[in-house]
Structure 1
Amino acid sequence: MSQWISGDAARGIIGDGLWRQNAGLVQLLGLCPVLAVSSSVVNGVSLGLATALVTGLSSALIASVRHWVPNEIRNPVFILLIAALVTLVELLMRAGLPELYAVLGIFIPLITTNCIVLARAEAFASRNPVPHAALDGVMMGLGLTLVLAVLGGLRELFGKGTLLSGLELVLGESARGWVIHLIPESAHYQFLLAMLPPGAFIGLALLIAGKQWWEARPARTPAPAPLQGEQA
């Protein structure tokens, strides 16, 4: 049987990763980086993309070797493979984006123990073909990235009155002028509750509540048109 992923299977995996089984809003995995690094859009998206890269690569690698790894040593082998990929990402980030790496700090190597990476390795990658596992890993990582981006935007907006602050850490000093100041810098605006961990808890709770509210809405179906001869 061909291992290439079908359209229906791909849509199901994408929908699960981005919405139905979103790691940050439904499974509540990887909350440590979600709460600690989501102080701005740039920080959140940067860590989210790094996690998505590791999750996608590790899922594909684990799916490719799953038949040769005995069950007794499966978890240690998975952790070693994930740690090797995280080390590669960490070294690349340290060499190419040293200022961003300094901001994210310990949360880059901690991707090794991120529950999302380990959970997808155990629950999905170890039981499915490589294309399915790779797509699942990437989508789960991107689902987390979306949560980090939205939560980081909310906290940055209410905490500092800006959006995209720190963009120069990724794109260089020329991007410093791209920061959006919704409140003038001269106002020295700062709302500490939004910037500190309690603000992250509140923001995440609002996002979870918003998702549940959206899904709980009654389906709106158009009223049937009146039959010919009936009064409207």
Structure 2
Amino acid sequence: MCFALTSVLCLSNLFVSIIRNHIPTNVRMIVQITLIASLVVIVDEVLKAYDYETSKTIGVFVALIVTNCIVMGRAEAYAMQNGPWLSFLDGLGNGLGYSLILIIVATIRELFGSGTLFGYEILILTQNGGSYLGNNYMVLSSSSFILIGLLIWLLRSWKVEQIEEPEFQVARNNLETKEAGTRV
């Protein structure tokens, strides 16, 4: 999955950057989506040709790369503004960074969900004579969202400069939005 995502990110940034001056503004998003979808099909076919078992396992997730906002966002925000080499490197950096997050989340889910890493039993489960009771929630897909939220929280607690300023303030009640002295 990491290989597929990083490949699509690098190549889409490269190709969008190469053709950026020839894309009419009113169809640029359609061109980018078409380009990304084409690259996903190519990567999926390469994966089927060289590692069919892995392709069967993650095939549905590879197809979802097309809808991934990271790929589209980098093509729109960076590749449309910069040259091919820098765009390729941006895709590589973002792909590797996203891959690192995927690996961290998958490792935590596998370790605490089934007690194994890479198929080797690390935490001996109670049914195998150990003392660890597997966390069934970690095996579910929804645990990924919780883990990513926790990783963001940990990062922003550790590096306070990562906390973003809100774009707007929400009024606490109606009285704060009215001038002082006027009551309803």
TM-score for both structures, normalised by structure 1: 0.63
2: CA distance, partners of 1:195 / 1:58:
32
2: CA distance, partners of 1:198 / 1:187:
29
2: CA distance, partners of 1:72 / 1:202:
38
Distance 1:187 1:204, change over 3 A: farther
State the AA in 2 paired with 1:197.
S
RMSD over aligned Cα, in angstroms?
1.8
- Aligned counterpart for 2:17 among listed residues 42, 45, 63: 63
State the AA in 1 paired with 2:18.
S
Aligned equivalent of 1:109? 63
Aligned equivalent of 1:210? 154
1:94 aligns with 2:48: yes
Aligned equivalent of 2:139? 195
Aligned equivalent of 2:34? 80
Greater RCO (Cα-Cα under 8 Å, separation 6 or more): 1
2: CA distance, partners of 1:54 / 1:187:
45
Which stretch has the larger CA shift, 54-63 or 208-217?
208-217
Computing the radius of gyration over CA atoms, which structure comes out larger, 1 or 2?
A: 2
Aligned equivalent of 1:164? 118
Contact 2:116–2:123 at 8 Å: present in 1 too? yes
Aligned equivalent of 1:139? 93
2: CA distance, partners of 1:197 / 1:49:
21
TM-score for both structures, normalised by structure 2: 0.79
What does residue range 41-60 of structure 1 map to in structure 2 within 5 Å? 47-60=1-14
In structure 1, list runs of 5 or more residues that go unmatched.
1-46, 166-179, 218-232
State the AA in 2 paired with 1:94.
K
Distance 1:203 1:71, change over 3 A: same
Q: CA deviation at 1:187?
A: 4.3
- The number of aligned residues is 157
2: CA distance, partners of 1:102 / 1:146:
22
Contact 2:112–2:135 at 8 Å: present in 1 too? yes
1:183 aligns with 2:123: yes
In structure 2, list runs of 5 or more residues that go unmatched.
162-184
Identity of aligned residues (%): 35
- Aligned counterpart for 2:82 among listed residues 128, 133, 151: 128
Contact 2:44–2:59 at 8 Å: present in 1 too? no
SS at match of 2:159: helix
